[in-house]
Amino acid sequence: MAAKAFRFLRRIPSKDSSCAAESGRSQKMDTDGNAPLIELRNICKIYQMGTEQVHANDGISLKISRGEFVAIVGKSGSGKSTLMNIIGALDVPTEGEYYLDGEDVSHMSEDQLAEIRNKMIGFIFQQYNLLLRDNLLENVELPLLYAGYSKSERKEKAMRSLERVGLADKWFNKPSQLSGGQQQRVSIARALAGNPSLILADEPTGALDSKTSREVLDFLKELNREGNTIIIITHDNSIAMEAKRVVRIKDGKINFDGDVEKYAEFV
Ligand SMILES: Nc1ncnc2c1ncn2[C@@H]1O[C@H](COP(=O)(O)OP(=O)(O)OP(=O)(O)O)[C@@H](O)[C@H]1O
Ligand SMILES: [Mg+2]
């Protein structure tokens, strides 16, 4: 584990934790009768560090509907990446339930999680996570390969996605031949290629200068206007303000959840 993670170890007596609380509520429907895209019920993630327990997520309940643009914000060590790993089906909670599009993800095996990820989630990372030896087209095709698309479907979808971010003419370039902003656009193209139900962006502008950050944020806004559901994880309040709804995490718990105008008054 990264040394950084150790710096923020906290000791919380288990009696302070809401992790033991029962979560036996029934799944509520939205007012239009649809289940939310995301429903977290009393999610806890506890890391055992020797004799200490780290409550990285400590009783998080949250619903997110299709078409929302949500920022999850909090200081370093507050539990954002832990929560993103659970929402992104990269990890399962110690306790609590997670429904993604009505399916219970919280008890899935590694293989089932991988399938859900491939089918439903597009990831955007701070460091782009592009394969440096592959060209842009191959990079964007990769999740489509895992999702089981044929070669011709992969090529068609990946080219369309590169067009969407304005980089189709560079499909044969390697990532190292692009600027940071262009590389992030490739990673957005990769996230979009399989037409996912959810786009999950972890500090997507963390490695970019302010002008390029602006472009990436504007692009994410545009994708949201087109109906995509977007969750952006950030430690930066000014970036959180770009979303429509802000969820703030402190010490593994939600301490604010509301629309961005209310958040502006809160901070
Ligand atoms: N694998 C792990 N084992 C033990 N403790 C962990 C592990 N991963 C995270 N933690 C601890 O859980 C807490 C939350 O960590 P997390 O990475 O979710 O924070 P974060 O909000 O993403 O921070 P940052 O902004 O620095 O990325 C921290 O105290 C961290 O040290
Ligand atoms: Mg993090």
Contact predicate 59/20, CB 8 Å: no
3-state secondary structure of 200: strand
Structure tokens at 49: 């560090």
Structural domain of 232: 3-266
What residues does ligand 1 touch, defined as CB less than 6 Å away?
Answer: 1, 5, 8-10, 47, 49, 54, 56, 74, 76-82, 235
Return averaged pLDDT per consecutive 10 residues of the chain, 267 residues in all: 33 47 48 80 96 96 97 96 94 96 92 91 90 96 92 97 95 95 93 93 88 89 94 95 97 97 93
pTM of the model: 0.87
Contact predicate 131/142, CB 8 Å: yes
What pLDDT is recorded for position 22?
45
Q: Which-ligand-closest: CA of 249?
A: 1
CA 24 – ligand 2 centroid, Å: 30
- 95-100: strand order across its sheet: 52-64, 38-49, 95-100, 103-104
Q: How many independent structural domains does the chain possess?
A: 1
CA 246 – ligand 1 centroid, Å: 20
Pocket probe mutation, ligand 1, options 47, 57, 126, 202, max atoms within 8 Å of Cβ: 47
What pLDDT is recorded for position 15?
41
Q: Which residues pair with 253 in a beta bridge?
A: 250
CATH code where residue 248 lies = 3.40.50.300
What pLDDT is recorded for position 33?
57
CA distance 69 to 260: 10
Helix and strand element counts for the chain (H, E):
9, 10
What pLDDT is recorded for position 220?
92
What pLDDT is recorded for position 49?
92
Q: Whose CA is nearest to atom 25 of ligand 1?
A: 76
Nearby residues for ligand 2 (ion, Cβ within 5 Å): 81
Radius of gyration of the chain (CA): 19
